Structure 1
Amino acid sequence: VAALDGAPGIFSARWAGPDKDFAFAMRRVEERLEEIGSDDRRAWFTSALAVAWPNGPAVVVEGQVHGLLTFPPRGDRGFGYDPIFIPEGQTQTFGELDPAVKDALSHRARAFEKLKAALME
């Protein structure tokens, strides 16, 4: 989340507490944005993948999807922060999008495409 200096970042699951309650985590993000008085809703998901060959160099790639946060959460598909994240070029949250559309747009798909391309070189 841009306004939170990249938080929750790699600690996104920890923001959900010990019960991994992502409804709680989404409320926590919204509350933090309200506390700092920010209207900046830019956010992104990042996925990193690596392959280390026994006798060769490691291949490391990163995929990202950028978008905006919306509150209250919308949709019951997906998991984690999907119901508050609208990817660029879309009007629905990841939680509302058809799973095939979400999967094609996701940071994971982008990372795997980059990894595939790197491994084919």
Structure 2
Amino acid sequence: MDTIIAASRNQHKIVEIEAITKKFGMTIISRDEAGIPKVEIEEDGETFEENSFKKADEIRKMCGKTTIADDSGLMVDYLGGAPGVYSARFAGEDCNDTKNNEKLISLLEGVPYKERRAKFVSVITMVFPDGTSLVARGECEGHIIDTPVGEHGFGYDPLFVPDGFQRTFAQLLPEEKNQISHRAKALAALERLLEERNS
């Protein structure tokens, strides 16, 4: 396949996507590497799908090449699906991972473990030069714990224990996480869509 431009500037996401897409024969470069102007794309959609498409399509309009964008976040049942599309800015505009995690812990204080169901969601959209697109969604279900554990990953990873594991995402090695993560599932779904498109 041709080189694909990643709409994201988040190196963590690009590395995770690239670790999985290599085996599909996709070469991904960041928008900065592609020389795309440093314009902020406002993520004002109400769903991961809306935000993912908007990011990919805006970049496609700038470069005319195939683009890929991921919009992802954490949805906690007890909080009615929050933080959802606001996952990255849950604790306010100038927040960071630590502040977001602290807010989540405080909102779930006293809530029993079994009621701390949550899922990570990733929606990956690939938009082709002609404007057609493929949309793939992946989910990974689990629970939220009340103290961050682990050194790997980013975001809410230190608080999220995926179903079937006794360790958080941040305790899993990258290759372990890449087999079960929401992003891995979205990329697997994208691979199936690409196979259908090319058959």
Query: 1:22 maps to what in 2?
Result: 97
Amino acid at match of 1:11: Y
Partner SS, residue 12 of structure 1: helix
Alpha-carbon distance between aligned partners in 1 of 2:93 and 2:126, rounded to the nearest angstrom: 31
Partner SS, residue 102 of structure 1: helix
Kindly name which structure, 1 or 2, has the bigger radius of gyration based on alpha carbons: 2
Query: 2:80 maps to what in 1?
Result: 5
Flag structure 1 segments of 5+ consecutive residues without an equivalent. Answer: none
Query: 1:115 maps to what in 2?
Result: 190
Deviation at 1:72, TM superposition (A): 0.8
Deviations 1:71-98 (A, max 9, x none): 2111111111000000111110011111
Does 1:102 pair with 2:152? no
Query: 1:1-121 to 2 correspondence within 5 Å?
Result: 1-34=76-109, 38-39=111-112, 40-55=115-130, 57-121=132-196
Aligned-CA RMSD value: 1.7
Amino acid at match of 1:118: L
Alpha-carbon distance between aligned partners in 2 of 1:115 and 1:20, rounded to the nearest angstrom: 31
Alpha-carbon distance between aligned partners in 1 of 2:130 and 2:170, rounded to the nearest angstrom: 42
Identity %: 41
TM-score (norm 1): 0.88
Specify whether residues 21 and 56 from structure 1 end up closer, same or farther in structure 2 by C-alpha distance, changes over 3 A only: closer
Deviation at 1:56, TM superposition (A): 7.3
Find runs of 4+ consecutive structure 1 residues off by over 6 angstroms.
Answer: none
Alpha-carbon distance between aligned partners in 2 of 1:81 and 1:12, rounded to the nearest angstrom: 9
Flag structure 2 segments of 5+ consecutive residues without an equivalent. Answer: 1-75
Alpha-carbon distance between aligned partners in 2 of 1:46 and 1:97, rounded to the nearest angstrom: 18
Deviations 1:50-87 (A, max 9, x none): 22334574221100100011121111111110000001
TM-score (norm 2): 0.55
Q: Which structure is higher in RCO with an 8 Å CA cutoff and minimum separation 6?
A: 1
- Judge which range, 8-17 or 61-70, deviates more: 8-17
